[in-house]
């Protein structure tokens, strides 16, 4: 997401810089902007099959000719009141990453849970993770996101507080097929972690909502 709205944002200059960096490490991918320029979420994709010749990627065994694809998406009109943090990484060189703080990121995850329009079990897996980390959602950021997109869009009377959040989440939880939700997540988890999915139920997630509040 952009830190400030910019409907005219274009990927082209950033993709050019990425390709230059890749070339310095002996890689030659292609990078393409995707989708219509008027969309709020602007996309790009990097495709490459030379990376498997440069790195020992054990998960590519038996699939040497498969292309690696990296999808980039950016919200050019993000909801207001997000918080940010800075992280410093050191591979392949020292660099700085500006990213949302976890409270704001949790707010957007809750927005997805309430507004996506179809069941995605991975959203609830993430929700469970945030609660276990004792992270509180950025309620102002959530409210701005709800005003921007979803069933509450344009509702000037909407005011998001903890009581509203509890009611909204519990109402969503009551309408979910938890077997279907766990089936969506199972293939991404280790055998040991898959066993915990048997706990997924209305009772389990309402308990998590209570812990969140």
Ramachandran class of 26: left when φ > 0, alpha when ψ lies in -120 to 50, beta otherwise: left
Q: Residue 179 domain-assigned?
A: yes
pLDDT at 54: 52
Q: Which pLDDT band holds residue 69 (cuts at 50, 70, 90)?
A: confident
- 153 and 115 share a domain? yes
**pLDDT at 117 > cutoff 70:** yes
For the chain, what is the domain count? Answer: 2
The total number of residues written for the chain in this structure: 213
Asked if residue 2 belongs to a domain, the reply is no
Of the candidate ranges 40-49, 51-60, 191-200, the one whose mean pLDDT is the lowest:
51-60
Asked if residue 185 and residue 111 are part of one domain, the reply reads yes
Q: Yes or no: say if 96 and 86 are a contact pair by the CB < 8 Å rule.
A: yes
**What mean pLDDT do residues 132-153 have?**
96
The sign of the torsion formed by the CA atoms of 114, 116, 118, 122 equals: negative
Q: Do 111 and 207 belong to one domain?
A: yes
Q: What is the pLDDT of residues 9-52, one digit of tens each?
A: 989 889 898 888 888 888 888 887 776 656 788 888 887 766 55
158 in a domain, yes or no? yes
* φ/ψ of residue 153, rounded to 5: -55, 130
- The answer to the question of residue 91 being in a domain is no
Same domain, 107 and 208: yes
173 belongs to a structural domain:
yes
pLDDT band at 108 (very low <50, low <70, confident <90, very high): very high
| Tens digit of each residue's pLDDT (9 = 90 or more) over 96-107 | 999 999 999 999
Say whether pLDDT at 118 is over 90. yes
Query: 58: burial class by Cβ within 10 Å (0-12, 13-18, 19+)?
Result: exposed
| Burial per residue of 201-210, b for 16 or more beta-carbon CB atoms within 10 angstroms, e otherwise | eeeebeebbe
Q: Are residues 107 and 199 in the same domain?
A: yes
Q: If DSSP codes are grouped into helix, strand and coil, which group holds residue 47? A: strand
Sequence-ordered list of residues with C-beta below 8 angstroms from that of 203, at least 6 positions apart, any chain: none
**Strand ranges of the sheet holding 30-34, from the earlier edge strand across to the other edge:** 30-34, 41-48, 68-75
| Structure confidence at residue 2 as a pLDDT band (50, 70, 90) | very high
Residues 185 and 121 in one domain: yes
Assess whether 151 and 200 both reside in one domain. Answer: yes
125 and 60 in a common domain: no
Residue 83, domain member (yes or no): no
- Name the burial class of residue 91, with classes exposed (0-12), middle (13-18) and buried (19+) by CB atoms within 10 angstroms of its CB: exposed
| Predicted confidence band of residue 65 (pLDDT cuts 50, 70, 90) | low
- Domain match, 69 and 145 both: no
- My answer on whether 108 and 205 are in the same domain is yes
Q: Is 95 a domain residue?
A: no
Same domain, 57 and 121: no
The 10 Å Cβ neighbour count of residue 143 is 22
Residue 27 backbone dihedrals phi, psi, to 5 degrees? -110, 150
Structural domain boundaries, residue 142: 102-212
The pLDDT value recorded for residue 70 is 84
Question: Are 180 and 121 in contact, with CB atoms under 8 Å apart?
Answer: yes
Looking at the structure, tell me whether residues 39 and 137 fall in a common domain.
no
Residue 194 pLDDT more than 80? yes
Asked whether the predicted pLDDT for residue 185 surpasses 60, the reply is: yes
Q: What is the pLDDT of residue 93?
A: 85
pLDDT at 126 over 90: yes
Res 48: pLDDT: 73
Return the pLDDT at 53: 53
């Amino acid at each position: 997401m952009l830190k400030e709205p910019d409907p005219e944002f274009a990927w082209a200059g950033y993709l050019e810089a990425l390709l230059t960096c890749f070339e310095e490490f002996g890689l030659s991918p292609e990078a393409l902007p995707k989708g219509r320029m008027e969309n709020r979420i602007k996309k790009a994709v990097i495709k490459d099959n030379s990376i498997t010749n440069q790195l020992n990627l054990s998960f590519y065994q038996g699939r040497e000719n498969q292309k690696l694809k990296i999808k980039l998406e950016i919200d050019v009109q993000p909801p207001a009141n997000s918080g940010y943090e800075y992280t410093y990484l050191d591979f392949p060189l020292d660099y700085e990453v500006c990213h949302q703080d976890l409270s704001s990121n949790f707010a957007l995850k809750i927005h997805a849970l309430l507004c996506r329009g179809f069941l995605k079990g991975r959203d609830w897996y993430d929700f469970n993770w945030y609660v276990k980390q004792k992270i509180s959602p950025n309620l102002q950021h959530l409210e701005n996101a709800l005003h921007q997109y979803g069933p509450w869009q344009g509702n000037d009377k909407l005011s998001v507080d903890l009581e509203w959040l509890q009611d909204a989440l519990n109402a969503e939880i009551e309408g979910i097929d938890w077997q279907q939700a766990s089936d969506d997540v199972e293939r991404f988890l280790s055998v040991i972690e898959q066993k915990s999915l048997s706990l997924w139920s209305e009772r389990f997630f309402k308990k998590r909502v209570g812990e969140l509040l």
